């Protein structure tokens, strides 16, 4: 599971999205032609961060609740008593 609890993709995507967001505010004033590039890249990257996070939450929830499910088999002794 690691230190991040299987959230490595979310963390890496989040760091990249934060760097893109910071670069948007730094690079667009001197180079206005980059505005369209950042206008497309930054919201898409934050959407991917959200999707990574929500999918990992769902995976953690389903694996937590499915691991405890075991169906017990009823067994009887030769006298007909339930074990």
Residues near 34 by beta carbon (within 8 Å), at least 6 away in sequence: 27, 28
Q: Is the pLDDT of residue 68 over 60?
A: no
Query: Which of 25-29, 53-57, 66-70, 78-82 shows the lowest mean pLDDT across its residues?
Result: 66-70
Q: Identify the residue with better confidence: 60 or 69.
A: 60
Q: What are phi and psi of 22, to 5 degrees?
A: -65, -40
Over residues 8-25, mean pLDDT: 96
Start-to-end CA span in the chain (Å): 38
Provide, rounded to the nearest whole percent, the portion of the chain with pLDDT above 90.
61
Over residues 57-62, mean pLDDT: 88
* Residue 28 contacts residue 34 (beta carbons within 8 Å): yes
Over residues 31-60, mean pLDDT: 95
């Amino acid at each position: 599971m690691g230190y991040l609890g299987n959230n490595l993709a979310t963390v890496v995507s989040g760091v990249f999205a934060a760097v893109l967001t910071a670069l948007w505010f730094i690079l667009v004033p001197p180079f206005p032609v980059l505005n369209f590039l950042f206008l497309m890249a930054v919201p898409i990257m934050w959407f991917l961060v959200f999707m990574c996070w929500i999918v990992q939450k769902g995976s953690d929830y389903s694996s937590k609740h499915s691991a405890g499910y075991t169906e017990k088999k009823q067994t009887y002794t030769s006298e007909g008593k339930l074990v």
